[in-house]
Structure 1
Amino acid sequence: MAKKQFKAESKRLLDLMVNSIYTHHEIFLREIVSNASDACDKLCYKALTDESVGLDRKDFFIELKTDKDARLLTVSDNGIGMDREDLENNLGVIASSGSFQFKQELGDDAKDTDVIGQFGVGFYSAFMVADHITVVTKKYGCDTAYMWQSAGADGYTITECEKDGVGTDVILHLRPDTDAEKFSEYLEGWHIQELIRKYSDYIRFPIRMEVSKTRRKEGSPDDKPEYETYTEVETLNSMVPIWQRPKSKVTKEEYDKFYRDKFNDYADPQRVLRVSAEGAVTYTALLFVPSQQPFNYYSRDFEAGLQLYSSGVLIMDKCADLLPEHFRFVRGVVDSPDLSLNISRELLQHDRQLKVIAANLDKKIRADLAKMMKDEPEEYAKFWKNFGRQIKYGVVSDFGAHKQDLQDLLLFYSSTEKKPVSLADYISRMKEGQEVIYYAAGESVESIDRLPQLEALKDAGTEILYFTEDVDEFAAQTLTAYQEKKFQSALSGDAAPAESKDGETEKLEDGDHKAALDFVKETLGERVKEVRASKILKSHPVCLTAGPGLSFEMEKYFAAVQPEQKLKADRILELNTSHPVFAALEQAVSADPERAKKYAELLYDQALLIAGLPLEDPSGYTDLVCGLLV
């Protein structure tokens, strides 16, 4: 029979596919197996209304065979098969999909089938690894079998042939190996098993192959055991994914094992969440919160995303678009038959369906974490230790777009409770007359707890939140308030206890110490924006506070990540006018101005040290201290 030519458009598409559309050559096996599954599904559906088919779902299968000497890989099924017209329509015209047409014919009943193919180009992905393809097929209800053969863009032939039973055999003659690609790997049993488990593990029909195994020979001595190799037909796929089994039929041990095996974690997950939805978009999701932080979690090497399946066939190993950035630690799978895939199935169209799934998963994860916080606070504390920083980043990211959704999940260390607490818990314990949420930022809980600026608030029993991570102050500034209570730094000059502010203010504004304060400002010059009598110091002589906007901890952060910008917070030197040191300063101002200048320099350097800021001249500071000791 004369060779038939592909249409010109099909030739160009075939060349594009082999060279461009598919990123990984190994995808071809997924496509051929998916087509075989579709063929089984079609005949299985027909069997529901046609008793003469004589087959139940359990009778259908897909079989793989290899012939290393002949370089042949065969994928066979006992599905619906094809006649000459089907071969012309489905294999003679690239991008014509019999599966897509079948789903259209079913109409509303299509949701009850598991047909995978949509675009009709998957079959031709085999030309990435094969230089010649033979299809031997016999359609159910027909007496004649046909053979379709092609070596690629040059065209194809269709001839009658013999075949026992209905179904299709796709026979691939693999290309010769090159330095860049070892096509003979696709003839190795171990590699085929690996690809089936990766891409087609949840195909609903058994995928069988004869595999080589080793066993001990009967009667061989214990001290010198002998082994022999034998072959055995084995089902390579598990067929029913764990997320499609009823919840009541899956044990915790099974979830844990699935998670460890699927995501290469030696520890069980802390949380398991199953989500199912039907309607505008139908999907099933099985999500896990790890019980430990991955070693590379906050590095560029960490890849976030969920495994995405379409009717049990792996489409993407890490689909980042299914998770918001603040929940990037979640692992799991999403399976949906409704996704709009592109022709290679490797990329998703960014459409409404994907956005709907992502938005719903975001809500479900948030609700589950909120439930854990309420019902299992100790478990939530463990989660927070691992991934709390990520939630804080979520508050700050996208200009605070997610802050309302995430604010109730936040925890910060409490000065009174001695543990991380929620903002709602803090609000519930606020003292009468307290109008703000007090916080203090520093390198650690211990270093913050020693800050002299906090003494008055702590003595008054006021609860303070300790911010120990670089993102904390940014999160507070992004929130601005919680339940109408604004955030205020306890390290600012206005952070005096509510019940003592009025009297203290009257005492400090009487102007008695103006001369000494002006002297210190003149001595320090532009190094400080202001020198003032402190409202917040109690038993300590001096401290630095920052002006509005940039805090000292923010200054340190930007100095580490953007040193070229040289951003600096305003420095306000606060002096405790009730301290003996200030009395000594005042006396020196009038009696010994040169010594008073040394006192001013010393107090400023001490304030820098308390704030954790670098000394401008460490050697000069040492000389100054030594000079005042003699």
Structure 2
Amino acid sequence: MTAEVNKETLGFQTEARQLLHLMIHSLYSNKEIFLRELISNASDAVDKLRFAALSDDSLLEGDGEYAVRVDVDQDAGTVTISDNGIGMNREEVIDHLGTIAKSGTAAFLEQLSGDQQKDSQLIGQFGVGFYSSFIVADRVEVHTRKAGTAANEGVLWESHGESEFTIEPKEKADRGTSITLFLRDDCKDFADDWRVRSVIKKYSDHISVPVLMKEAPVPAADEAEGEGKEASEPAQAQYKPVNEATALWTRSRSEISDEEYAAFYKHVSHDFEDPLSWSHNRVEGKLEYTSLLYIPARAPFDMWNRDANRGVKLYVQRTFIMDDAEQFLPMYLRFVKGVLDSNDLSLNVSREILQQDKTVDALRSALSKRVLDMLSKLSKNDAEKYAVFWKEFGQVLKEGPAEDTANKDKIAELLRFSSTHTDKEVQDQSLRDYIERMQEGQDKIFYVVAENFNTARRSPQLEVFRKRGIEVLLLSDRVDDWLMNHLQEFDGKQLQDVARGRLDLDDESEEEKQAREAAEKESEALVERLKAVLGDDVEEVRVTTRLTDSPACLVVGEMDMGAQMRRIMEAAGQAVPESKPILEINPTHPLINRLDTESDEARFADLSRIIFDQANLAEGGQLDDPAGYVERLNSLLLQLSKG
């Protein structure tokens, strides 16, 4: 059967087509990025073969000299990137080059604005990989053969980067992958030898695999002179390394520039932007390892998918083992990128072994502390950069106290919140800042949790705190209620939800105490009437110590689940424990006084329900019977209009 008969035309996945279109039309200012991406992929393919060959050296096919080759042809207008790595079979070619099986793709595409400059920046959050070829090429050929397969099992893939691609069998003598880019007219400069060399030095100098390019051919001997002498045959072109070809993390920190660190980050993360910070550390002693860890400047689109690939690149004795080794950092540090090279793990390590190895636990603990120390230094030395970090990853870090009790105090120092001290939505206040501003004799850190910032800032529960000048943290992230349930205290100060249980500010004067007790006594009859009307909708009705301006508020029982956490769990379809709110009334408010004097029981019931529902709405809650609320309110308005 001929190759032409076996040639198939297949369509790109929808998301792949959209991404291709975007890159071709938006990345006009970052064209050279394609070479970094393709060389990085080639380096990864070599790393994968290195690891596979540890258990099956026949995969090397007699060639253990790993390399990536880059060839340019100005006349043909092509650039070719070849590797002798693991290669691909037919199914893998279709999977890797015809689809984008990356979580977050849909979210990424939804963010696109149509503005070329903005969209090109978004691509850096997603990563481009092989598809970057079409930034500079109007046709791409991929010729590949998987290591260990026969020469006639090679595969040729071809596409113009539009809606479809072709795939067919094509013999390939050597293993690995060769990608040939047929350059667009406005990108022919990438067929220039010196242009390509400069890009490789800029982006790929740190890659441990040699990146080779042809040296200009030199005759084997001087040209023959005089009659009767034959000219020498032209020598074959020699390939020589263009890059340093030394794993960057194995070099001394004093030898590495910031530019090299940033370039290596882009290699391991496929990000366009420079990292915010990094930490390069070599440890000798009980544990022997080298780590190079980075804090990105921007969150990826799959940050909230806890099943997405994450973790560091793992090497053992400089031999690549796996990408995304998630066992070495906890989930709340899933944004960290980098490399771990250990001498204390076996070369034949597997994911199953990693899950049971005590050395892994020790490395995980050490790397977690290293990241937290890096963030601590960043927060103290560069507030502007830390603000960028917090905006991108703050909600992820808030998962930490529940997941990493050993480092709870370190994490707590890094947390940032909004506060009544500034009344700004930006989260820039630390728990340490709060303690430094605490009033004399104050022994608690007060906070309020709400659906959003404005609801938190305008919560009725804050009234007495504002009156007394006591600062309250304003929490509105979905994770906040869960965070505080696990944090509970900081630096010996208890964290107190202002909407939970009975409020005790410990600074009540004797005069205030007597006035409160008198109000409670005078309101006993009203409290009983309200209990009778509201029935099972409330756990209790009582006189408030929280309110100064509002007529009523709802309070959560001391041991009950917070209102925000309850709403989140209910929205997710999860069962929540049975509980009822506590209604607190302000007997000094005119509306409560009016309610107390109402003799018509039907009207009293309607007014009571309106006050109860309004207290619920003020906290961002949902009414069980919104139509009933509107009906009662309209009835009341009609009565008032009649005088």
TM-score range, shorter chain: 0.5 to 0.7
Give 1:576 deviation, angstroms: 0.9
Structure 1 match to 2:567: 556
- What's the CA shift string for 1:4-35, capped at 9, x where partnerless? xxxxxxxxxxxxxxxxxxxx999446666999
Alpha carbons of structure 1 residues 278 and 514: separation in structure 2 relative to 1, 3 Å: same
User: 1-side partners of 2:68 and 2:260: how far apart?
Assistant: 29
Q: Counterpart of 1:361 in 2: which secondary structure?
A: helix
2-side partners of 1:600 and 1:74: how far apart?
Answer: 77
Return 5+ residue gaps in structure 1 as ranges.
Answer: 1-23, 37-59, 66-72, 76-126, 132-172, 214-229
C-alpha displacement of 1:567? 3.9
- Aligned twin of 1:297: 303
- Deviation per residue, 1:258-294 (Å, 9 max, x gap): 2123311111100011111112332221111001111
Distance 1:507 1:322, change over 3 A: same
| CA pair 459-183 structure 1, distance change in 2 beyond 3 A | farther
Residue 553 of structure 2 is aligned to residue 543 of structure 1? yes
Contact 1:456 1:497 survives alignment (8 Å): no
Which residue does 1:19 correspond to in 2? none
Q: Is 2:420 the partner of 1:415? A: yes
TM-aligned CA distance change 1:623 to 1:174, over 3 Å: same
Aligned to 2:384: 378
| Conserved? CA contact 1:577–1:583, under 8 Å | yes
Match of 1:516 among 496, 519, 526: 526
- Residue 447 (1) aligns with residue 455 (2): yes
C-alpha displacement of 1:476: 1.7
**1:432 and 2:435 aligned:** no
Q: Name 1:190's counterpart in structure 2.
A: 178
CA, structure 1 residues 277+539, in 2 after alignment: closer, same or farther (shift >3 Å)? same
Deviations 1:454-512 (A, max 9, x none): 11101211010111112222222212222222111122463364433654443233311
- Which SS does the other structure have where 1:585 is aligned? helix
Please show how residues 465-504 of structure 1 align to structure 2 within 5 Å: 465-492=473-500, 494-495=502-503, 497-500=505-508, 502-504=510-512
8 A Cα contact 1:185 1:191, kept in partner: no
Closer, same or farther in 2 for the Cα pair 1:498/1:26, shift >3 Å?
closer
Alignment of 1:348-387 (within 5 A): 348=354, 350-387=356-393
Q: Distance in 2 between the 1:299 and 1:237 partners? A: 36
In structure 1, what is the equivalent of residue 631 of structure 2? Answer: 623
Residue-pair matches, total:
460
Cα distance in 1 for partners of 2:613, 2:350 equals 66
Distance 1:299 1:180 in 2: 36
Shift of 1:320: 0.8
Cα contact 1:555–1:569 (8 A) shared by 2: no
Q: Secondary structure at the match of 2:526?
A: helix
Identity across aligned pairs (percent)? Answer: 31
Q: Deviations over 1:308-333 (max 9, x none)?
A: 12333321111111212222111001
**Counterpart in 2 of 1:202?**
208
Task: Quote the residue 2:469 is aligned against.
Answer: 461
Distance across 2 between alignment mates of 1:182 and 1:350: 44
Where does 1:35-54 land on structure 2 (aligned, <5 Å)?
none
What residue number does 1:573 align with?
A: 583
Distance in 2, matches of 1:25 and 1:260, equals 18
Give the distance between the partners of 2:67 and 2:629, measured in 1 at CA.
Answer: 82
Provide the C-alpha distance between the structure 2 equivalents of 1:294 and 1:609, rounded to a whole number of angstroms: 35
Aligned partner of 1:12 in structure 2 is none
Aligned ranges 1:69-468 → 2 under 5 Å: 129-130=147-148, 174=151, 176=153, 184=172, 186-187=174-175, 190=178, 201-202=207-208, 233-235=239-241, 238-300=244-306, 302-342=308-348, 348=354, 350-397=356-403, 400-418=405-423, 419-468=427-476
Q: Compared with structure 1, are the counterparts of its residues 504 and 593 closer, same or farther at alpha carbon in structure 2 (3 Å cutoff)?
A: farther
Aligned amino acid, residue 421 of structure 2 = T
C-alpha distance in 1 between matches for 2:277 and 2:285:
27
Deviation at 1:603, TM superposition (A): 0.9
Distance 1:468 1:185 in 2: 61
Verify the 8 A CA contact 2:321 2:349 in the aligned structure 1: no
Distance (whole Å) between structure 2 residues aligned to residue 529 and residue 344 of structure 1: 55
The question of whether the paired residues in 2 share the 8 Å contact of 1:28 and 1:128 is answered with no
**Partner letter of residue 585 of structure 1?**
L
Please state whether the residue corresponding to 2:465 is helix, strand or coil: helix
Judge conservation of contact 1:62–1:208 (CA < 8 Å) in 2.
Answer: no
Distance 1:441 1:323 in 2: 29
- Offset of residue 388 of structure 1: 1.5
Matched residue, 2:194: none
Contact map agreement 1:439 1:466 (CA 8 A) in 2: yes
Partner of residue 525 from structure 1, selected from 530, 535, 544: 535
Whole-angstrom distance in 2 between the partners of 1:283 and 1:490: 47
The 5-angstrom pairing of residues 12-51 of structure 1 reads 27-28=48-49
- Work out the CA distance in 1 between the residues paired with 2:526 and 2:579: 24
Q: Distance in 2 between matches of 1:623 and 1:493?
A: 32
| Aligned counterpart, 1:105 | none
Give per-residue Cα distances to partners, 1:218-239, cap 9 Å, x unaligned. Answer: xxxxxxxxxxxx9652438742
Q: Could you say if the C-alpha distance between residues 300 and 74 of structure 1 is closer, same or farther in structure 2, counting changes exceeding 3 Å?
A: closer
SS of residue in 2 equivalent to 1:495? coil
The residue identity in structure 1 corresponding to 2:388 is K
Q: Which amino acid aligns with 2:582?
A: I
Instruction: Give 1 or 2 for the bigger CA radius of gyration.
Output: 1
> Is the 1:532–1:573 contact (alpha carbons within 8 Å) kept by the matching residues of 2?
yes
RMSD: 3.9
| 1:550–1:568 CA contact under 8 A, matched in 2 | no
* Cα distance change, pair 574–344 in 1 and its aligned pair in 2 (3 A): closer
User: 1:180, CA displacement in angstroms?
Assistant: 12
CA distance in 2, matches of 1:496, 1:209: 75
TM-superposed deviation, 1:417:
3.5
TM (normalized to structure 1)? 0.65
Alignment check: 8 A CA contact 1:308 1:334 kept: yes
Q: Distance in 1 between matches of 2:589 and 2:464?
A: 14
1:77-99 deviation digits (Å, cap 9, x = unpaired): xxxxxxxxxxxxxxxxxxxxxxx
In structure 1, how many angstroms separate the alpha carbons of the residues matched to 2:498 and 2:635? Answer: 35
- 1:363 maps to a residue whose letter is K
8 A Cα contact 1:444 1:468, kept in partner: yes
CA offset at residue 181 of structure 1? 9.5
Q: Residue 571 and residue 345 in structure 1: after superposition, are their counterparts in 2 closer, same or farther (change >3 A)?
A: closer
Q: Which amino acid aligns with 1:323?
A: L
One-letter code aligned to 1:312: R
Stretch deviating more after TM superposition (325-334 or 179-188): 179-188
Which amino acid in 2 is paired with 1:559? E
Distance 1:183 1:324, change over 3 A: farther
